[in-house]
């Protein structure tokens, strides 16, 4: 009898496919995983501790760096939390600008996910196509707020910069271009036999598991649970716009893939409506006291980021700095299901499943 | 080449043959250099990029610069690696790649060896590279390399079988294993006399199995960059790594030439009125097309998973190639022999 | 090496040059601070004399809160609920402070009771109030879209709250993070180890009395 041993393999922290500095300790029996233990904290920067010494406007750049692929939604969750606590009104124009950048950010984030996911699966070219399109969005953001990745755009009570001349027209032009490209990408990739064989039926779980593990975003909706915070607990101006929430059936990687592509389409739909009803004039900042001091108490707000539910829990003692600031990060919570999904899978499927959850390690570690 | 081969082996003759081999080595190295350059260019264009364009005019010296860089790198051997095997593996990978080129004919009169079992020689030698890859993976003392080596061994063995069986149809039609005779059997004057149409099943299987033998996408699991961090050659650097890459590209040359010879009519023109163009030009055109095709699918397709690859090899390609053999044999029996 | 030693031993013979602009700015800032402090004192003294406000109307979500509190008190014990109120700042979210000793049963009740069915645990936060520690669980019922925030208080030294992981699997890593950064222990947790900090780290960084290794940072 040949005695075989279990192999202990370290995936990461430096690895092309772990989407950041993230490590999984994998026990292999041949090519089959018997146990997987994620180890994180390599990118822990102590944002929550630092925030206890800064006032809220100073914390906004730190939020950019948490989920750096989708910085606008991070900005928004913080300023929305403070505005909720203080009962501040945000002017219409500012709210529209916020919604537009958040939806554009959703498209950009999903494009990054799509490109890198396909790169992990082995197709090299869609990565470049996705980044070319994302480049257009990033250039628009650059024009708007001066930064390509970490925008520091929103402020408590409004936004920092108004849309420059012609910016809205450029966004209007981008929408049909992106819709066209999305059709092309669908034709290029989604019907490919090899690709479908790689992701159909992989990483499957049911709705009860998803709810129990607190998954959110596409990870929850792929099982058929209809819970999108933009529709279920609307914030900003989402209740005024019409859009569908794509749902999956089987809860496997293929459904998550399809949902995210469809979400890009729905985001473009929201953008079209928002641009059509964009107010002509208006302020970009509301009436905000010079020193932002939320009243004593606590608040927990949540919004739908491209990765899922991002939440901000602030405990304030009436000072300019928060007493405790906690971010509920979707990648962190979504990642919990990884050890469960990996048991019995092969190494190749590890990459497929990990990519399908769509994590950003900056958010996992905060 | 024939007159030299038929004479007795004196020192003078041996020297001449050796020099011809060296010349050929340089031609092959030149091919590899520009195949790598064109691969990067073609894939770049397919991905809306430009590819290398800085080093030398139009980036033509890029590969030269890369190879030079590899040659001047430090030769690291991991401390706990098996030294002898680690050092032998790249050389062992390269030697069969170069030796199989001996039997390939380029035109009626331009060839190196005229073995009556040329095809068998090719298939037999190309299997030795599998051993080299497993050795490289094992000797690196690295779990990723080991996984890559094991995967590669499984893959190459699985696809060697359909590869060989798919050419049995060609052998039946041509009646010989001699590559020059196989090309001669396709000399009808028109492109439909070439073997790829009568033997279309065999051709399809051969192409798939050939891409798998070359460890190229979509079958590049042994070097799956995003999973195994370069697989079996993760611990190799510098010159030894260059050897593995070199042997891969020399195999690309060999497979492309073999496909041209077996299925695309070798040096024959596609139509009689085009026969004024010399045969070597036709050979090179067909050869270039096959190489381009390999680059094309690398840019386009995702990677197949290891268990799906095994399933494809054993459950699909093998039965279909056996079917091809039966059909060819039945056709020959019923229509040709009478 | 010897030159550097010599330089460091030399005391500066003169004071560093006085930056007049900087001095002026510091002085202005100090004066402004004093003025603000004086104004604040005056305002606080004045506020004490303001007339008492009219009582606020009851919140529309008060019945929700009462229902949850009622069920908890009924199914477990009167003493299970230490306090309950609606959080006006947070769109009137019901907040219930459950006593630490009854948390284990309360968690199960919240998830499984057919009138509550809080099946989706959104967030688990730990807060270090300097007198005690608190763990806040935010949950929502996906069926009825009702939400609640449950707080559990614990002592600062040897803080311990029974783990909610057997009830909601979401709590697993969240509680590990709270253990790692705040030092609250969660008995009943399947895998209580540090998650963000290295495994051999001493201390809990998010605590208010945490001394960082490098105190100048």
pLDDT of B42-59, one tens digit each?
999 999 889 898 888 888
Residue of higher predicted confidence among B222 and B11: B11
| Cα torsion A106, A107, A108, A111: sign | positive
The answer to whether residue C169 neighbours chain A at the CB level (below 8 Å) is yes
Report the alpha-carbon distance of residue B251 to residue B101 in Å, rounded: 9
Instruction: With beta carbons less than 8 A apart as the criterion, state whether A365 and A42 touch.
Output: yes
- Segment among A6-10, B72-76, B231-235 with least mean pLDDT: B231-235
- Chain C CB contacts of A365 under 8 Å are 196
Record: contact C123-A44, CB cut-off 8 A: no
Q: What is the pLDDT of residue C10?
A: 44
Q: What pairs with residue C98 in β-bridges?
A: C81, C152
> CA of A297, closest CA in chain B: separation in Å?
48
Is residue C1 scored above 50 in pLDDT?
A: no
Query: Mean per-residue pLDDT for A46-55?
Result: 90
The answer to whether residue C195 neighbours chain A at the CB level (below 8 Å) is yes
Most B CBs within 10 Å: which of A17, A118, A125, A353, as the mutation test of the B interface? A125
> ipTM score of the complex?
0.90
Instruction: With beta carbons less than 8 A apart as the criterion, state whether A288 and A215 touch.
Output: no
> CA of A15, closest CA in chain B: separation in Å?
7
The answer to whether residue B310 neighbours chain A at the CB level (below 8 Å) is no
Q: What pairs with residue A247 in β-bridges?
A: none
The string over B262-301, giving b where at least 16 C-beta atoms fall within 10 Å of a residue's C-beta and e elsewhere, is bbbbbbbbbeeeeeeeebeebbeebbeebbeebbeebbbb
Among B244, B311, B261, B216, which residue's Cα sits nearest to residue B86? B244
Record: contact A313-C198, CB cut-off 8 A: no
Record: contact A324-C89, CB cut-off 8 A: no
Record: contact B308-A31, CB cut-off 8 A: no
pLDDT tens digit sequence for A223-273: 999 999 999 888 888 999 999 999 999 889 999 999 999 999 999 999 999
Record: contact C205-A315, CB cut-off 8 A: no
- Chain B CB contacts of A118 under 8 Å are 302
pLDDT tens digit sequence for C135-149: 999 999 988 888 889
pLDDT tens digit sequence for A74-97: 999 999 999 999 988 899 999 999
* DSSP string computed for C44-110: HHHHTTSPPPPPPPPPTTHHHHHHHHHHHHHHT-GGGEEEEEEEGGGTTEEEEEE-GGGHHHHHHHH
- Segment among A203-217, B2-16, B76-90, B181-195 with least mean pLDDT: B2-16
Q: What is the pLDDT of residue C9?
A: 44
Is residue B337 scored above 80 in pLDDT?
A: no
Report the alpha-carbon distance of residue A228 to residue A238 in Å, rounded: 11
Contacts of B263 (CB under 8 A, 6+ apart): B170, B194, B195, B196, B199, B202, B203, B206
Point out the residue among C88, C125, C205 whose CB comes nearest to the CB of A313.
Answer: C125
Listed by number, the residues of chain A in 141-200 with a beta carbon closer than 8 Å to a beta carbon of chain B are 189, 192, 194-195, 197-198
Rounded to the nearest integer, the mean pLDDT of chain B is 87
Listed by number, the residues of chain A in 25-54 with a beta carbon closer than 8 Å to a beta carbon of chain B are 31
Is residue A155 scored above 70 in pLDDT?
A: yes
Record: contact A298-C136, CB cut-off 8 A: yes
pLDDT bracket for residue C53 (50, 70, 90): low
Rounded to the nearest integer, the mean pLDDT of chain C is 80
Among B77, B260, B103, B91, which residue's Cα sits nearest to residue B183? B260
Interface residues of chain A, partner chain C, Cβ below 8 Å: 40-41, 44, 46, 48-49, 84-85, 87, 211-214, 225, 227, 232-233, 294-295, 297-302, 309, 311, 313, 315, 323-324, 326, 328, 332-333, 335-336, 365
Q: What pairs with residue A154 in β-bridges?
A: A159
Q: Chains B, C in contact: 3+ Cβ pairs under 8 A?
A: no
Is residue A134 scored above 90 in pLDDT?
A: yes
> CA of B331, closest CA in chain A: separation in Å?
33
Q: What is the pLDDT of residue C6?
A: 45
Is residue C174 scored above 60 in pLDDT?
A: yes
Q: What is the pLDDT of residue A82?
A: 92
């Amino acid at each position: 009898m040949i005695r075989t041993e279990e192999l202990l393999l370290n995936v990461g922290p430096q690895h092309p496919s772990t989407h950041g500095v993230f490590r999984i300790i994998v026990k292999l029996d041949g090519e089959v995983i018997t146990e997987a233990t994620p180890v994180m904290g390599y990118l822990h920067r102590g944002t929550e501790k630092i925030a206890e010494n800064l006032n809220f406007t100073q914390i906004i750049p730190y939020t950019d760096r948490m989920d750096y692929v989708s910085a606008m939604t991070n900005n928004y969750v913080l300023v929305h939390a403070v505005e909720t606590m203080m009962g501040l009104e945000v002017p219409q124009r500012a709210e529209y600008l916020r919604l537009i950048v958040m939806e554009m950010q959703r498209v950009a984030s999903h494009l990054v996910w799509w490109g890198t996911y396909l790169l992990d699966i082995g197709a090299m070219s869609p990565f470049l196509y996705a980044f070319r399109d994302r480049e257009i969005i990033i250039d628009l953001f650059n024009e708007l707020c001066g930064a390509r990745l970490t925008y520091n755009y929103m402020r408590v009570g409004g936004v920092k910069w108004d849309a420059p001349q012609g910016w809205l027209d450029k966004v209007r032009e981008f929408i049909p271009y992106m819709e066209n490209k999305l059709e092309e990408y669908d034709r290029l990739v989604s019907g490919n036999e090899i690709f479908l064989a790689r992701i159909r039926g992989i990483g499957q779980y049911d709705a009860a598991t998803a709810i129990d593990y607190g998954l959110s975003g596409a990870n929850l909706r792929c099982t058929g649970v209809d819970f999108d915070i933009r529709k279920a607990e609307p914030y900003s101006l989402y209740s005024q716009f019409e859009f569908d929430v794509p749902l999956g059936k089987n809860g496997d990687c293929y459904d998550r893939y399809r949902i995210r592509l469809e979400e890009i389409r729905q985001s473009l739909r929201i953008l079209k409506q928002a641009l059509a009803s964009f107010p002509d004039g208006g302020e970009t900042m509301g009436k905000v006291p010079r020193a932002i001091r939320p009243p004593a108490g606590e608040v927990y707000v949540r919004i739908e980021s491209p990765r899922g539910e991002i939440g901000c829990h602030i405990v304030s003692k009436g000072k300019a700095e928060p007493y405790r600031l906690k971010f509920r990060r979707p990648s962190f919570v979504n990642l919990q299901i990884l050890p469960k999904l990996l048991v019995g899978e092969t190494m190749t499927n590890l990459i497929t499943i990990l990519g399908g959850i769509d994590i950003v390690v900056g958010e996992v570690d905060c | 080449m024939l007159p030299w081969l038929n004479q007795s082996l004196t020192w003078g003759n041996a020297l001449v043959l050796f020099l011809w081999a060296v010349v050929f080595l340089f031609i092959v190295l030149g091919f590899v250099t520009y195949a790598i350059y064109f691969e990067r260019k073609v894939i770049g264009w397919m991905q809306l990029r430009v590819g290398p364009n800085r080093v030398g005019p139009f980036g033509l010296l890029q590969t030269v610069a890369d190879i030079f860089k590899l040659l001047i790198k430090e030769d690291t051997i991991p401390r706990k690696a098996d030294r002898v095997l680690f050092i032998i593996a790249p050389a062992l990978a390269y030697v069969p790649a170069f030796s199989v080129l001996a039997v390939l004919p380029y035109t009626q009169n331009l060839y190196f060896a005229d073995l009556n079992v040329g095809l068998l020689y090719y298939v037999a030698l190309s299997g030795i590279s599998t051993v080299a890859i497993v050795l490289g993976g094992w000797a690196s003392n690295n779990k990723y390399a080991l996984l890559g080596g094991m995967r590669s061994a499984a893959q190459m063995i699985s696809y060697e079988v359909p590869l060989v069986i798919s050419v049995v149809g060609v052998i039946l039609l041509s009646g010989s294993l001699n590559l020059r005779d196989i090309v001669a059997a396709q000399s009808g004057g028109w492109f439909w006399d070439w073997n790829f149409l009568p033997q279309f099943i065999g051709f399809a299987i051969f192409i798939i199995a050939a891409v798998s033998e070359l460890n190229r996408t979509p079958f590049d699991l042994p070097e799956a960059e995003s999973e195994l961090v370069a697989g079996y050659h993760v611990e190799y650097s510098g010159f030894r790594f260059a050897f593995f890459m070199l042997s891969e590209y020399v195999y690309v040359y060999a497979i492309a030439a073999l496909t041209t010879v077996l299925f695309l009519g070798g040096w024959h023109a596609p139509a009689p009125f085009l026969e004024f163009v010399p045969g070597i030009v036709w050979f090179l055109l067909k050869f270039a097309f096959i190489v381009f095709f390999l680059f094309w699918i690398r840019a386009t397709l995702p990677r197949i998973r290891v268990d799906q690859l095994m399933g494809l090899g054993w459950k699909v390609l093998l039965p279909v190639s056996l079917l091809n053999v039966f059909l060819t044999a039945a056709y020959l029996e019923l229509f040709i022999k009478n | 090496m010897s030159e550097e030693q010599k330089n460091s031993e030399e005391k500066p013979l003169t004071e560093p040059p006085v930056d007049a602009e900087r001095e002026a700015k510091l002085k202005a800032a100090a004066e402004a601070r004093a003025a603000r402090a004086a104004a604040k004192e005056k305002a606080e003294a004045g506020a004490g004399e303001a007339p008492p406000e009219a009582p606020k109307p009851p919140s529309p979500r008060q019945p929700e809160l009462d229902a949850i509190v009622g069920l908890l008190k009924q199914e477990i014990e009167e003493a299970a609920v230490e306090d309950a109120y609606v959080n006006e700042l947070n769109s009137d979210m019901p907040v219930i402070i459950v006593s630490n000793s009854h948390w284990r049963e309360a968690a199960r009740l919240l998830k499984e009771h057919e009138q509550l069915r809080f099946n989706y645990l959104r967030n688990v936060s730990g807060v270090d109030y300097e007198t005690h520690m608190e763990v806040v669980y935010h949950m929502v019922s996906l069926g009825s879209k009702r939400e609640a925030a449950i707080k559990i208080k614990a002592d600062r030294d040897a803080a311990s709250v029974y783990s909610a992981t057997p009830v909601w699997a979401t709590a697993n890593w969240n509680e590990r993070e709270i253990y790692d950064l705040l030092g609250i222990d969660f008995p009943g947790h399947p895998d209580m180890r540090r998650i963000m900090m290295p495994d051999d780290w001493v201390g809990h960084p998010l605590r208010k009395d945490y001394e960082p290794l490098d105190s100048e940072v």
